[in-house]
Copies of this chain bind each other. A is one copy, B any other.
Amino acid sequence: MPPPNPTFSPLYQQIKGLLIQSLQDGEWKPGELIPSETELAVRYGVSQGTVRKAIDELAAENLVVRKQGRGTFVATHNEAKAEYRFLRLAADDVNTGKPKSSYLAVDRVRANSHVAKLLDIKPSDSVFVVKRVLRFDGVPQILDEIWLPASQYKGLTLERLQSWNSTLYGFLESAFGVRMLRAIETIKAVSAEPEQAEVLQVPVGAPLLLVERQSMTYADQPVELRRGWYLTDRFSYKNELY
């Protein structure tokens, strides 16, 4: 009787790893069609069902999008359905229009220890700090302060952001090839400081949600850190629990 293998790893997991590697290497770019399941099965020398199970998991993690009758596509932030995929703020009553960003400033500074730790860089490394406002139907609802490691976003300027007319993540994906796959948010209630109060047009001291988001790309590498102050008088942060 053979001893059980202590480092057992299912075939489909190994295939999944290979697929992720190809995605990360840019063999298939965001929005593109990847090879069919049967094609990949031949390529890796496994059955089609095994490839299917690997792709199933990638689809569950939103790295890839299946479309019956058409094929499997690399997920992208540049399409209607994925716009504001990570935005959890929604109006309480009727539907609103899509939010619109106004970029206020882009600065280049040195990371403080908190930012450096969460971006997994050295405290002396330089980062871009982006400030922007998100408006729904013209009403400012979110003030964002976004830290981006300068090394991965060479050439970022306020002008380029302002001339882009879609989402930030779509821009970062198109301009720098950085794909946001996953994020962790930690939420607190705070009182508005003068800076936030002015932008969001509320009294100093008004209660705001403070949402800190750490975004990751492949291999869970952090590539963005942001702090958002959310006005929640007529909007709410929505979350589903299972």
Q: List 23 A-B contacts (CB under 8 A).
A: A61-B242, A85-B241, A86-B241, A88-B239, A88-B241, A92-B186, A181-B242, A182-B240, A182-B242, A183-B241, A184-B238, A186-B239, A187-B236, A187-B237, A187-B239, A188-B236, A189-B207, A189-B209, A189-B230, A190-B207, A205-B205, A207-B207, A207-B208
CA distance A191 to B192 in the complex (A): 11
As for how many copies of this chain the complex holds, the number is: 2
A239: B residues at CB distance < 8 A: 88, 184-187, 239
A62 interfacial by beta-carbon distance below 8 Å? yes
A232 interfacial by beta-carbon distance below 8 Å? yes
A interface vs B, CB < 8 Å? 61-62, 85-86, 88, 92, 181-191, 205, 207-209, 213, 230, 232, 236-242
| Shortest beta-carbon distance from A240 to chain B in Å | 6
A183 in contact with B240 (CB, 8 Å) = yes
CA distance A19 to B17 in the complex (A): 34
B207 in contact with A187 (CB, 8 Å) = no
CA distance A207 to B61 in the complex (A): 35
State which of B92, B208, B213, B241 has its C-beta within 8 Å of the C-beta of A189. B208
CA distance A238 to B183 in the complex (A): 11
